[in-house]
Structure formats: structure tokens, C-alpha cells
């Protein structure tokens, strides 16, 4: 059982975490060494040379991430954005990317501000409309970037349809699976070629580390280029941060269940509240893509948004009154967070001004609901 665990709860506990053969330690050691001994003949039979290239703690995390997503390999980075950038750095000037209008705003900014200057051309589309994606494809398209559920409206894109379109055009389908996590969604089963994670969020799970990863379904050239960016660019996570992600992942399946259960309760409460204009959560039957979400997701995650009747000031007024929620950006930790998303995204945002984004944490749902009820009163 320990050699071939199949279910995600078992993988989360054991993948990349064998008992330490040197000491019998059940919790893995943190290897801080930046350099590794050569044999007398100059070789590195123990596999490690210099910690920018590889390090045993990072290797353990990468094995765990590959197992969770049922891929063949993973490359860990110092943040989700570093992982995202590594995918774009694996492309060449003149290559074309199709990306959603509502990708994480940092991803859009990377494409618009950094990679446009490297002559990477991007067409931003509504990813919920495969027809629009099809019309955007060109002979130079190398990547169709999918992020679902998308931030902060939690729209659902059809990964299988988009992967088919990408493959038909000779491109790769890259899926940012940060929000759904491998517990909620398996993009490789739906045809994606690479998966990106901000491990900063649910995988780490405690709002105390930054990290990212690129995971590949097959041992292919594009992933080799991502690996080369990791080793030569050096945007690597520290051994301690790798260890923290590994530790967080042990409880990921159970945390995700609780996040989703709490989120659905909070969403239902908000949907019935007279001061709430709209609730965006794919787990609600009224969500426009609930049927698709139910088909491609096993769980709907803990992220939702709601629009307060009125304007930005009304929304900010609600956020100002919470006591259990914390007014802060980010998501995926144990603590529930609330934020006025348009302010975070800044000028040019497409996010409605009256929208509050919520990361539903692991407190008791009734306490979260009571807090929102008070804030909305």
C-alpha cells in the first residue's frame, strides 16, 4: 500500500515523504546544503550537484506535486508568479499565447508588461467561450492558458474543449489549477499538458509561505525548457519553504473538503440576503456554469465573491465591519479573508466596484455567517 498509494488522501500523506533511510525519521529532514560531494571519479552518483539545480527537499516536494496531479515531473519555484513566468520564458519571441481576460491579474500583467517586451504576443479572450478561443488561434500559438475557476468571478472554462482546441492548433494547454487544487480538479485527465500552481495558496495552506510549481503530464521539450529556466534563472524556493508546502499538503484533501463545505454554507447565506446583489460561487446551482463545474470538478473550493447592493463605498463599508474575517488579500489559508478586489487590482480592472472577494477558511461556518450578517446589517 505504501509503495503504490492511489487515492489523493494517501498520496498527500506519503508521496515524496518516505521514512528517512539514514535515521528512520518519519518527518522528512530539511536539507540546507547548497553544494554536494563528488565521488573520486568526479561523478555525482547521489544525484545532486548544486542546490540551484536540485536539492533533496525540493526534489521531495516535486515528487509529491507530480504524484498529486498524476503527472510525471514537477519543477518548484519561489512563487506562483515565478512558475507562471517560467512557462512564458520557455517560449520564443514571436510565439503567441491565448489567455483569459480574467486570469489572475498578475498573470495578465506579466504577459502585458514583461513578456510583450520579449515579443511574446498575447490575445486575451473570454475563456468560457470556446468559439472565441478558436478564433484567436494562429499558426504561431504555442500556449492556451486556462484558469478555472477564474478570479474573482469564479467563471468556469471547459478544460477538455480548450485542450482539444489547443492541440488542434499544435499548441499546449496550460492550466492554472491553484484555485481548484488537485483535490477538486484533475486537468491532466481533461487533456491539459502542463499545470501551474501557486503553492502559496491551498497547497501550503496556512498563509505562511510563497511558492509555485509547474507540473507536466509527459516528459516533453516544453517542460525541459521550464526546468532549464528553473536551474539557470534560479527562481527556486528555499528548502524550508519546500518543507512547509510538503507539510501543508499532508492535510490538503481534508482541508479542501472543509473549505468547500464552509464556502457553500456562506454562499447560500449570502444568496438569500437582501443587501446582496449577486453571489459568484460555482457550487451554487444558480451559477451559470454549475453543470460544467459539476462535470469537471470534484469539489468547488473555498473561493467566492459577492456584490453588495450599491457602489464601492457600500462594499468597503461591509468589509470595514467584519471581525472574524480578516481584511487581506490572498487565499487558501486557514483564516477567512475578505477584500475589495477592484482596489487590489487597480486601474483598468474589469472587476465590479461593489464586489468583495472572500477566501472561506476553516473557522466554524456559523461564526463566519454571523460575522457577515452583522457586517451587512
Ligand X SMILES: Cc1ncc(COP(=O)(O)O)c(C=O)c1O
Whether 52 is catalytic: yes
User: Smallest gap, in angstroms, from Cβ of residue 374 to ligand X?
Assistant: 28
Beta bridge partners, 286, equal none
Do the Cβ atoms of 92 and 141 come closer than 8 Å? Answer: no
Q: Out of 8, 179, 194, 260, point to the residue binding ligand X (CB under 6 A).
A: 179
Q: Which stretch binds ligand X (CB under 6 A): 75-83, 112-120, 122-130, 366-374?
A: 75-83
C-alpha cell at 184: 477538486
Provide the mask over 243-282, with x wherever binding to ligand X is found by CB under 6 A and - wherever it is not.
----------------------------------------
81 part of the interface to ligand X, by CB under 6 A: yes
Whether 44 is catalytic: no
How many whole angstroms separate alpha carbon 227 and alpha carbon 75?
Answer: 6
CB atoms within 10 A of CB 119: 11
How many whole angstroms separate alpha carbon 366 and alpha carbon 370?
Answer: 6
Give alpha helix (H) positions in 70-114: 80-89, 105-109
Catalytic residue (one of 17, 201, 217, 341): 201
DSSP string, 11-41: HHHHTT-PPPTTT--SSPP----SB-PPPTT
Whether 176 is catalytic: yes
Q: Out of 200, 216, 307, 336, point to the residue binding ligand X (CB under 6 A).
A: 200
Whether 20 is catalytic: no
Q: Compare residues 5 and 106 and give the one whose CB is closer to ligand X.
A: 106
Catalytic residue (one of 17, 95, 104, 341): 104
For residue 100, which phi and psi values (nearest 5 degrees)? -80, 145
Q: Out of 151, 230, 238, 336, point to the residue binding ligand X (CB under 6 A).
A: 151
Taking CB atoms, the residue at the shortest distance from ligand X is: 80
User: Smallest gap, in angstroms, from Cβ of residue 197 to ligand X?
Assistant: 8
Distances from the Cα of 145 to the Cαs of 99, 137, 298, 310, in angstroms? 5, 12, 21, 34
Q: Out of 169, 210, 266, 308, point to the residue binding ligand X (CB under 6 A).
A: 210
Q: Which stretch binds ligand X (CB under 6 A): 53-61, 79-87, 183-191, 278-286?
A: 79-87
Task: Map the footprint of ligand X across residues 85-124, applying CB under 6 A.
Answer: 104, 106
Burial track 150-187 (b if 16+ CB lie within 10 A, e otherwise): bbbbbbbbbbbbbbebbeebebbbbbbbbbbbbbbbbb
Active site residues: 52, 104, 176, 201
Rule CB under 6 A: which residues touch ligand X?
79-81, 84, 104, 106, 147, 151, 176, 178-179, 198, 200, 210, 212
Amino acid at each position: 500500500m505504501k509503495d503504490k498509494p492511489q487515492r489523493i488522501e494517501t498520496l498527500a500523506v506519503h508521496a515524496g515523504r518516505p521514512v528517512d533511510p539514514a535515521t528512520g525519521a518519519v518527518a522528512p529532514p530539511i536539507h540546507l546544503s547548497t553544494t554536494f560531494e563528488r565521488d573520486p571519479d568526479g561523478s555525482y552518483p547521489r544525484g545532486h550537484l548544486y542546490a540551484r539545480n536540485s536539492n533533496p527537499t525540493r526534489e521531495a516536494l516535486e515528487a509529491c506535486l507530480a504524484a498529486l496531479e498524476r503527472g510525471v515531473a514537477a519543477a518548484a519555484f519561489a512563487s506562483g508568479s515565478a512558475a507562471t513566468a517560467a512557462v512564458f520564458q520557455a517560449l520564443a519571441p514571436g510565439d503567441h499565447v491565448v489567455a483569459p481576460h480574467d486570469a489572475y491579474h498578475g498573470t495578465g500583467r506579466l504577459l502585458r508588461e514583461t513578456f510583450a517586451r520579449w515579443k511574446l504576443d498575447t490575445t486575451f479572450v473570454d475563456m468560457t467561450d470556446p468559439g472565441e478561443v478558436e478564433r484567436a488561434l494562429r499558426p504561431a500559438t504555442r500556449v492556451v492558458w486556462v484558469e478555472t475557476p477564474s478570479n474573482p468571478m469564479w467563471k468556469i472554462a471547459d478544460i477538455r474543449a480548450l485542450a482539444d482546441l489547443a492541440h488542434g492548433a499544435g499548441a499546449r494547454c496550460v492550466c492554472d489549477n491553484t484555485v481548484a487544487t488537485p483535490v477538486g480538479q484533475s486537468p491532466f485527465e481533461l487533456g491539459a499538458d502542463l499545470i501551474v500552481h501557486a503553492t502559496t495558496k491551498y497547497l501550503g495552506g496556512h498563509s505562511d509561505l510563497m511558492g509555485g510549481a509547474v507540473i507536466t503530464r509527459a516528459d516533453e521539450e516544453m517542460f525541459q525548457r521550464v526546468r532549464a529556466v528553473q536551474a539557470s534563472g534560479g527562481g527556486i524556493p528555499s528548502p524550508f519553504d519546500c518543507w512547509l508546502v510538503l507539510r501543508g499538503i499532508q492535510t490538503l484533501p481534508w482541508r479542501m473538503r472543509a473549505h468547500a463545505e464552509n464556502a457553500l454554507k456562506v454562499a447560500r447565506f449570502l444568496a438569500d440576503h437582501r443587501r446582496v446583489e449577486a453571489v459568484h460561487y460555482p457550487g451554487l446551482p444558480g451559477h451559470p456554469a454549475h453543470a460544467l463545474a459539476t462535470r469537471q470538478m470534484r469539489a468547488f473550493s473555498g473561493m467566492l465573491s459577492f456584490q453588495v447592493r450599491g457602489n464601492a463605498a457600500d462594499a468597503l463599508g461591509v468589509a470595514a465591519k467584519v471581525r472574524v474575517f480578516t481584511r487581506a488579500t490572498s487565499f487558501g489559508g486557514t483564516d477567512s479573508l475578505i477584500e475589495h478586489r477592484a482596489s487590489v487590482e487597480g486601474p483598468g480592472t474589469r472587476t465590479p466596484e461593489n464586489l468583495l472577494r472572500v477566501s472561506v477558511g476553516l473557522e466554524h461556518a456559523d461564526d463566519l455567517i454571523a460575522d457577515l450578517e452583522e457586517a451587512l446589517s
